[in-house]
Chain A
Amino acid sequence: DADVTQTPRNRITKTGKRIMLECSQTKGHDRMYWYRQDPGLGLRLIYYSFDVKDINKGEISDGYSVSRQAQAKFSLSLESAIPNQTALYFCATRTGTDTGELFFGEGSRLTVL
């Protein structure tokens, strides 16, 4: 089993629908991240969390919200999906150091029609 698991792996939805992407990890890391990847662009940070009570906005947080339900779980929500949120979304974890490597989930491909 993967150390960082994302569900769903693929989702097609319509404009205006609420969508939740879930991430769980068994690595025991405190730091968790949500990234978005679009063709021709680098990974862009949406939100990150250093522990259950510490949640921070990334560079593109508008239109998204997150919930850190436990150390091992970090969910990303799109309250009202729009077509330009069509992208590949990655959850990642990191050790409690500022320069540790990131461990990524398999990705969730979201299409908003």
Chain B
Amino acid sequence: GQNIDQPTEMTATEGAIVQINCTYQTSGFNGLFWYQQHAGEAPTFLSYNVLDGLEEKGRFSSFLSRSKGYSYLLLKELQMKDSASYLCAVVDSNYQLIWGAGTKLIIKP
């Protein structure tokens, strides 16, 4: 079967750095997305990785290792507004999106 694993919940301090991991086992791989979802709101796009390595976008970076079936989202200089759920999704061999259950990130002052 296809599986995406993320931690259920993480807590971090304002101004700090946090890394949210995502491991996957899917039938094929055509890319990995990260989305941010504030409580009760729609998911919004953060990043897309299809090649190995780190991609940086302001305070957010996303890393991919296809050989290890692993990705992480790195958030720097955390702000209270970063409190949200972070969803990992893999594009499988049929170009369908397989979603993880999401990681709820709690930021404390």
Contacts and interface: CB of A to CB of B under 8 A. Distances in A.
Interface residues of A, number: 16
Interface in A7-48: 40-45
Interface in B17-69: 30-31, 33, 35, 40-45, 48, 50
Contacts of A90: 42-43
Contacts, number: 48
Looking at chain A's contact residues, is the secondary structure mostly helix, strand, loop, or mixed? Answer: loop
B6 to A, nearest CB: 9
A78 to B, nearest CB: 21
B30 A102 contact: no
Closest 8 CB pairs of A and B: A42-B99, A104-B42, A98-B95, A43-B99, A101-B45, A42-B101, A99-B31, A104-B43
Given A42-B102, A99-B30, 7 more contacts: A42-B101, A43-B89, A90-B42, A101-B33, A102-B35, A105-B42, A107-B41
